[in-house]
Structure 1
C-alpha cells in the first residue's frame, strides 16, 4: 500500500534548510585529487540545483518501512529506490534540468549526471529506471504549477525561480570558493619550495662581485635588528638575518593575504541565514585548508633529507627557522578554523549534539596537539631536555596528523580530497625517514674507539669509514633510546686509524697528503691531563675522526667509554653538508672573484672549518691567500688536530703564525681573539680581490664575525660570509 511520506518530507526539508553544517554531503563517492584539480563538486550546477529544488514528498512502495522511525533516522529523506522509480519526481526533475540548464549543455553530460546522481552520491546505488531523455519525453505539457510545502508530489510540477536560484547560487559560489581554497593552498606550498630554488639560482648569474657583496652586506647577512643572530635573545628566540627575514616576511604575508582574498557572500541562498554566517564558514574552511598545506610545508622544511637542501644554497639552519615560523602559522590557522566553526554551531543550535560527533572531537584533538607543540618547543625546553622534547615533538606531530585525518574521514570520507594534503605531509616525512635508514644502512654497524683529548674534548675514531661534511652519530649501546643521535663534523682519515692499547706509548704515524691536511686518525696527542690516552697506530682501512665537547646526556655517557679497547658500536647517518647539495659545493672554494680565504674557528669548530681549508688548496700555485685563526681554551685539541695535518711547521704551537702546509695558521690558546682587528687587517689589506670568510664556533663568535663582515661590505670591501652552524 502506498502512503504519504510526510515525515520523510519534513526530515528532508529540515536537512535542506540546515545551514553550513550540511554545506556539502558528508558521505559519497571517493574523489581523487583536490577540489578543482581532479575533483568536481557540483557539475553541472543547474542539475544539482534542480535536484535540491524539486520537492521530495513522494508516494513510494517502501514508505511503510519509514513509519515509526524517529527524526534522526529519516534525515536523509526518501530512499534511493524511491527516488529512482518515482515517475512524477523523475519527470519533474528532468523538466527542471531541461528548462533551467543552458541550451548548449551537452546531452551526454546530463545523462551521465542523471545515472550517477539521481539516487545520491554513493559508490553503490540504484540507477533511475528511465534515462534523462526518456523522463523528459514523458512530459507532454510544460508544467507551471509549483507544489506547496506539504503537498505530495504525484504529478509533474515546476520549481519557482526563488527556490531554484537559492540553490543554484550557493552551489556555484560554494564550489568556486572551495576551488580557491585548494588553489591558494597549492600557491602556498609550491611557492614555499620554488622561491628558495629561484633565489639560489640567482647566485649563478654573472653579477659583479662588488655589487653582490654590497647587497649582501645591507640586505642578507646582518641580523634583522641588533647584533645577535646565532645567540638567542633572552635565551628564548633567534633573530633572523635580514635575508631570512625577507623570506619569513613573505611566508607571513602570503598566509595572511590568502586567508582573506576572494571571499564573498550571496544573499539569495538555501544554506546560510545571513552573509556574516556565510563568510565565517568560508574563512573557517580557508584557514583549515591553508593549515593543511602548511603542515606539508613545515615537515618539508624540517627534514634532514629536504630536497630543497639539495637544490639550493640555503642552510639547514635557515630551513629549520622557517619550519618554526610556518608551524606558528599552521597552528593559528587550525585554531581559527576551530573557533569559527565553534561559533557557527553555537549560533545555530549549540554544541551539545555536534560535540558527540567523531569528526568534531578528532578535530579538537588535532588542534590541541598542534597547540601543545608550540610551548613545548621553545628554546629553554629544548636546551634543558632535548631528548624529551624530541620524543614529545614527534608524538604530538603524529597525533596532530592522525587527528586531522580522522577529522576529515568522519566528516566527508574520501569525497573532497582534503586528506590529500595529509598524504603529502606523510609522504614527505616517510621519505626523510627512509633516506635516514638508507644512509645508515650504507655503512652498517661500525666500531668506534673513544679517547680523551683533554678535560673538555673527546675524540672518536671510526676506522673503515668514508664520510665527508657532517654525520649524525647513534650510540645504541649507551642508552635504551637507540634512536637518539647527534650531529658532528667529520675529520676525514686516510691510510691509518687509531687503536687503543695498554702499551703506554704514542706513535705519530700521520701521513702527508697532497692537500696539506691529512686525515689520518692516528694518535691521541697533547692531553693537558698528566696521563694521556695511549694509542698505537696500525694500518687499517681509512676512517674518520669526530671531536666532541663533553656535555650532559649522551656525550657524558660516551666519556665512560674512554680507552675501551674493544670499542663501542656506532651507527653513522652520512653524509650531509655541502657535498650533498647541487648548488652549495662552490661556496667555500676560491674563485677569481674571491681568491682569498679567512677561516675563523672556535674550539671544536675547527672540524667544520677543515673542509673549507682543503678546498683552498690546488695542484697549481694558489692565486690568493688562505689563513686560519683558531681560538681554543687549551692546547690539547690543538695537538690532536695537528696530528692529522701534514707539513706542520713554524714556531711554538701557542704562537703564530704556523703553517699547515700552505695555510698560514694563527692560534690563540686560552685568550680571546680580536676578531674585528683580524678581519679589518685581512680584508681591507687584501686590496681589490674578494675574500671568503668562513666561521664556525660559539654563537657569540659567529655573531661578531657576521656583524664585522657586513660592516666591511657596506664600506666597500668585496667579501662573502659562510657560517657553519647547527641549529636545533
Structure 2
C-alpha cells in the first residue's frame, strides 16, 4: 500500500485523535477514511484497536461493493430474462423458436417445463400474494414483505461480519484514567457506511422515470414500498451509528466531559447531528396521519424533495470521503426531474397545438362534465383529443390543472381506449372524485364556471406521462378475464374491456365486470362506454354486475356492510334490450370479492384467468386473498389451467 508523506496530512485526519501524528514517519491511505499513522507508537492495546478500526472499515467498503454487485446482478438477470422470455409462456416460446416449423405448441399440449413453470408461479401466488402484517406494513403483499426481509437479513450479515469482537482497556497519558476501546466504534462506522451506500438505492426506488422499471418491467409505483422501508432502514442505521459514537465519546473515552466537548464541537460531528435531525423530520413527515391532517400531500411531496437533498448535503459535510455514494443520488434525482420535463415538453410543444399555427407550448383544452355529490365528493369527467402516440392500456398520466396550481399534478388513468384517429389524435377521458386538496379546489372552480355559463365549459390541463405497465400484455384470446372495480377505479379496467369486446369472438373465453359504486347516478360517469360494452359484449357473453353500496334513496341501504354475490340478478351484455343502461344490481350491498372470484373461476371452461382490480385498498386486499386461494400449483401441473389465476391491480392505490 502506497504511503503518504506527512506534510500532505488532510485536516480530516485530526479527527483520529487516538493517533500520534507528531511521531509519525508516514501515512498509510485508506479509501473513504482517514489515513493511518505508521508506525503505531501508542500503547499495544491502542495499536491493536487501530488494526481493528482500519481493517473493519476496509472490509466494510468491500461489503458495500458486494451489496451493489448483488443488486446489479439481480437487475441484469431480470432484464435478460425479459428479453429471452418476453411472453407469458416462456418455455413454450423458446421451444417454438428452436423448432423446425416454428409453430407454437397448443396450450393443451404444454411442455413439461412450461407446466412446471406455471405450477411454480401459481404456488408462489397462493402463498405470497395476500397482504401481510397489515398493522405494520399496510396493504402490501407477502412477496413485498419477503423481499424486505431478505434485504434486512442481507444487510444485517454485512453489518457484523469481518470484525473482531473484543475490548481493550488503555491508559490515558498523564492521568490515572483509562479508555475503554471496543468493537462498538468500528461497528457503528460499518452501519454508517451501509447507510451511505443505500442512499442512491432509495432514490432509485422513488424515481418516476425509473431505471428499475425500464429493466424489470415493473411499474415504478411497485417500488414505493421498498423506497419507504429503505428509508426506515437508513434511519435505524443512522440512529445506531450516532448512538454508538455518542457512547464511545461521552462515556468510554476519558477524561469526561472534556472528550465529549471536544468531539461535539467539531464540524463533522455537528453536520452528523444535523443530518440525523433532517432524517428524523423526513420520517415524521411521512406518517399518513401527518400528511392527512397537517401538511397535505402536495406540501409533503415538495418538502420531502427539499429535505432529502439538504439531508444528502449534510451527509457530505459529515463525511465527505464517502460522497461517492451521495453524489449519484443527487444525479439520479436531477435526472428524474429533467426527464419529467422532457416528457411534458414532448406532449405539449409543437405546431398547431394552440390552433394558431405557431410553434410553442400549449396546454390541452378539455370538456367538462360535473356531478354534484355533497356526501362523498363531487365527480368530474374530462374529455379531450390530443395529438400524440397512443399509450398502453393501464398506463396513467399526471395532470396539472392550470386553473388551480401549476406546481401540483395528480395521477389519473384514462378510461378511454388509446386509439389514434385520422388526424393523429388520441381521445383522453378521465374521471376523478374531488375529496380534498387540489381536486376539490379545481372541482369548485369548474362548478362555478358551469353555473356562470349555464352549459358546457372547458378547462386547461398539462399532461405528463404515460407511466405504468401494459395490463393487456400477454393477454391471449384463451385467457379468461374478471374485472373488479370500486368507484372511480373503473377507469383502470374499462379500456381493457373495450378492447376485448372489439376483438374477434372466442366462445370459450369468459369475461365479467363487477363494479361497486356509491350511488345510482354514478353509472352516468361512463354511460357511453357502458352502453358500448353491453352492445358489443353481447356476442362475447360479457356479464356486467353493478352494485350500489350507499345510496340513501335505495331500499336496503342500511345494509351497506353486507357482502353479497351470486344471489342477485346478473345483468349480461345482451339483456338490456328494454331496460335503461343505468340499471344496477346489489342495491345497498357491496360485492363479496371472494364469492365473485370463486364463482367466476368455477365457471371457467378452459384456459387460465386474469383478474384485474382497482378500488379501495381494503377491496384490493380482499381480492388478493381470494385470488391466492384459487391458485393450486399441483393441479396446474396436471393440466387444470383454471387454477392458474393471476391478479393485476392498480398499484398507485397502495401508496
TM-score relative to the length of structure 1: 0.63
Q: 5+ residue gaps in structure 1? A: 1-7, 9-13, 54-161, 410-415, 495-517, 521-538
CA deviation map 1:230-268 (0-9, x unaligned): xxx4xx751531111210101111122211111126999
Mapping 1:163-182, distance limit 5 Å: 174-182=53-61
Specify which of 461, 480, 483 is matched with residue 383 of structure 2. 461
Query: Helix, strand or coil: the match of 1:464?
Result: strand
Conservation of the 8 A alpha-carbon contact between 1:405 and 1:422: yes
CA deviation map 1:327-349 (0-9, x unaligned): 11101111111122222222334
1:314 is displaced (CA, Å) by 3.5
Distance 2:172 2:215 in 1: 47
In structure 1, what is the equivalent of residue 264 of structure 2? Answer: 355
- Of structures 1 and 2, the larger Rg is shown by 1
Aligned in 2, Cα 1:212/1:677: closer, same or farther, shift over 3 Å? same
Distance 2:619 2:606 in 1: 26
Confirm whether residue 632 of structure 1 aligns to residue 517 of structure 2: yes
Aligned in 2, Cα 1:331/1:647: closer, same or farther, shift over 3 Å? closer
CA deviation map 1:658-701 (0-9, x unaligned): 2699xxx9954754224233221210221452111111112222
In structure 2, what is the equivalent of residue 241 of structure 1? Answer: 141
Mapping 1:125-524, distance limit 5 Å: 174-192=53-71, 194-195=73-74, 198=77, 204=85, 205-206=90-91, 207-208=114-115, 211-225=119-133, 233=135, 237-264=137-164, 277-346=181-250, 347-348=252-253, 349-384=258-293, 385-409=296-320, 416=321, 418-444=322-348, 445-453=363-371, 455=373, 456-466=378-388, 468=391, 469-479=395-405, 482-492=406-416
Aligned in 2, Cα 1:364/1:433: closer, same or farther, shift over 3 Å? same
1:548 is displaced (CA, Å) by 0.4
1:712 is displaced (CA, Å) by 1.5
1:568 is displaced (CA, Å) by 3.0
Distance 1:681 1:350 in 2: 72
What is the total number of aligned residue pairs between the two structures? 527
Query: Helix, strand or coil: the match of 1:352?
Result: helix
Query: Helix, strand or coil: the match of 1:443?
Result: helix
In structure 1, what is the equivalent of residue 460 of structure 2? Answer: 569
Distance 1:606 1:723 in 2: 12
Query: Helix, strand or coil: the match of 1:492?
Result: coil
Aligned in 2, Cα 1:294/1:656: closer, same or farther, shift over 3 Å? same
Q: 5+ residue gaps in structure 2? A: 1-6, 8-12, 92-113, 349-362, 547-569, 577-581, 636-642
Query: Helix, strand or coil: the match of 1:223?
Result: coil
Distance 2:533 2:139 in 1: 42
Distance 1:17 1:370 in 2: 26
Query: Helix, strand or coil: the match of 1:264?
Result: coil
Query: Helix, strand or coil: the match of 1:490?
Result: coil
Mapping 1:602-681, distance limit 5 Å: 602-614=486-498, 616=500, 620-622=504-506, 624-644=509-529, 646=532, 648-649=534-535, 656-658=571-573, 668=585, 670=587, 671-681=589-599
Distance 2:517 2:240 in 1: 51
Distance 1:379 1:644 in 2: 35
Distance 1:389 1:685 in 2: 47
Runs of 4+ in 1 over 6 A off after TM superposition: 14-17, 39-42, 162-167, 169-172, 199-203, 265-276, 650-655
Conservation of the 8 A alpha-carbon contact between 1:462 and 1:544: yes
Specify which of 419, 422, 427 is matched with residue 543 of structure 1. 427
Q: CA RMSD in A?
A: 4.2
Conservation of the 8 A alpha-carbon contact between 1:599 and 1:627: yes
Distance 1:647 1:243 in 2: 35
Distance 1:603 1:399 in 2: 40
1:269 is displaced (CA, Å) by 13
CA deviation map 1:326-383 (0-9, x unaligned): 1111011111111222222223343212222221111100011111221221122233
Distance 2:240 2:263 in 1: 18
Conservation of the 8 A alpha-carbon contact between 2:627 and 2:645: yes
Query: Helix, strand or coil: the match of 2:366?
Result: strand
Aligned in 2, Cα 1:438/1:470: closer, same or farther, shift over 3 Å? same
1:187 is displaced (CA, Å) by 3.0
Confirm whether residue 553 of structure 1 aligns to residue 432 of structure 2: no
In structure 2, what is the equivalent of residue 596 of structure 1? Answer: 480
CA deviation map 1:471-507 (0-9, x unaligned): 111124313xx3222111012367xxxxxxxxxxxxx
Distance 1:336 1:194 in 2: 29
Query: Helix, strand or coil: the match of 2:399?
Result: strand
1:570 is displaced (CA, Å) by 1.9
